[in-house]
């Protein structure tokens, strides 16, 4: 009787164990099933751009542009031939007559489409081009506050804007339209950190201050804007390095190309035409293994691998979003716009998860 009781007990335990095992297996299969069935959002926009001030411009299959919010909802209808990103609360749009104006975030046309060409608002003013192909500036009411008398005009930066006169020479105006730095330069860049790169009659680049004084002599083959205290320059041997704001070489000219510092790092190109990133001491912190790149934004930089696919790396060079996209925009407001193999766009977060 005792043996029978023990056998019955063992049978019960085995049965319970088998049931438990089946239950665990069923649960595991259910988890796998759920993971397999995890919703993948199909790429749906014909063209798209990054978010700016909470909205992103997108293009539908009919080649019309509108804007979505971060839920993916179309909040400004598809009706424009082209559109810019929102900047200072407004975005430029192009109508069916190929004229440009500005809309607000409600989609209201607040500055009529009357201009041949237009730029984003910067420091309260936007460059516009009239029917005579001359450029001036409007304010946010659409009032022409600086007459269209210039061959070309850049956006305002640090209170000044570069302009080109009828002789093809460049100088700078202030926000009243007054020419404060004469048009004597062959080419110019915008002011950044108090200085602007300028190109002289001999084709050499240097830097001026806001009074127009040359503070770094024009001796470089190329110069870019100052960013985080350093500016890329090209020497007579076609090599790129960086100078500080006194004009002293801070990072030797040894790269085949260099860009601007962003978040403490800058992209450089080596002799094999591959790209990596250096820090402000000139140390190569991300090896030159990438075919193409973009500057760091919100801690990540997009990079293109040898197969032409785009992904994202962090500041140690670690790939945090795999190179699987045909195109990618930089991270903006926590999201990046990416393109799949079918040519359609979606948005991913900083973990690489498709969110809309």
Query: What pLDDT does 44 receive?
Result: 79
**184-242 residue pLDDT tens:** 999 999 999 999 999 999 999 999 999 999 999 999 999 999 999 999 999 999 999 99
For residues 200-222, one letter each, b for 16 or more C-beta atoms within 10 angstroms of the residue's C-beta and e for the rest, the string is: beeebbbbbebeeeeebebebbb
The answer to whether the CB of 69 falls within 8 A of the CB of 86 is no
Please give the model's pTM, rounded to 2 decimal places.
Answer: 0.85
The β-bridge partners of 55 are: 52
Instruction: Give average pLDDT by consecutive 10-residue segment, the chain, 356 residues.
Output: 36 37 35 35 79 97 96 96 98 98 98 98 98 98 98 98 98 98 98 98 98 98 98 98 98 98 98 98 98 98 98 98 97 96 94 94
Please, is 40 exposed, middle or buried when counting C-beta atoms within 10 Å of its C-beta (0-12, 13-18, 19+)?
A: exposed
Query: What pLDDT does 43 receive?
Result: 57
Query: What pLDDT does 31 receive?
Result: 30
**255-268 residue pLDDT tens:** 999 999 999 999 99
The answer to whether the CB of 328 falls within 8 A of the CB of 336 is yes
Q: 3-state SS of the chain: helix, strand, coil percent to 5?
A: 10, 45, 45
DSSP 52: B
Query: What pLDDT does 317 receive?
Result: 98
The span from the CA of 46 to the CA of 337, in Å, is 12
């Amino acid at each position: 009787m005792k043996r029978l009781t023990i056998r019955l007990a063992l049978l019960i335990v085995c049965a319970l164990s088998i049931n438990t095992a089946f239950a665990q297996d069923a649960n595991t299969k259910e988890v796998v099933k759920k993971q397999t069935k995890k919703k993948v959002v199909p790429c749906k926009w014909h063209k798209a751009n990054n978010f700016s001030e909470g909205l992103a411009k997108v293009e539908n299959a009919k080649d019309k542009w509108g804007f979505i919010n971060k839920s993916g909802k179309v909040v400004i209808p598809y009706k424009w031939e082209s559109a810019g990103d929102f900047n200072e609360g407004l975005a430029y749009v192009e109508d069916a007559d190929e004229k440009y104006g500005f809309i607000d975030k409600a989609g209201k046309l607040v500055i009529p489409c009357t201009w041949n060409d237009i730029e984003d608002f910067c420091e309260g003013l936007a460059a516009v081009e009239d029917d005579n192909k001359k450029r001036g500036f409007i304010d946010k009411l659409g009032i022409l506050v600086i007459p269209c008398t210039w061959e070309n005009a850049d956006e305002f930066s640090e209170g000044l804007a570069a302009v080109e006169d009828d002789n093809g020479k460049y100088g700078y105006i202030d926000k009243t339209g007054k020419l404060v730095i004469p048009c004597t330069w062959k080419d110019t860049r915008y002011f950044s950190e108090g200085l602007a790169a300028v190109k002289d009659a001999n084709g050499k680049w240097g830097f001026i201050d806001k009074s127009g004084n040359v503070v770094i002599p024009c001796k470089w083959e190329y110069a870019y804007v100052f960013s985080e205290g350093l500016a890329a320059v090209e020497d007579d041997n076609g090599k790129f390095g960086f100078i500080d704001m006194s004009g002293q070489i801070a990072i030797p000219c040894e790269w085949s190309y260099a860009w601007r510092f962003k978040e403490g790092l800058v992209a450089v190109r080596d002799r094999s035409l591959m790209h990596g990133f250096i820090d402000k001491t000139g140390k190569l912190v991300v090896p030159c293994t990438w075919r193409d790149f973009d500057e760091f934004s919100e801690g990540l930089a997009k990079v293109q691998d040898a197969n032409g696919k785009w992904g994202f790396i962090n500041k140690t060079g670690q790939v945090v979003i795999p190179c699987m996209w045909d195109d990618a925009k930089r991270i903006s407001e926590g999201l990046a716009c990416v393109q799949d193999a079918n040519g359609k766009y979606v948005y991913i977060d900083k973990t690489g998860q498709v969110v809309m």
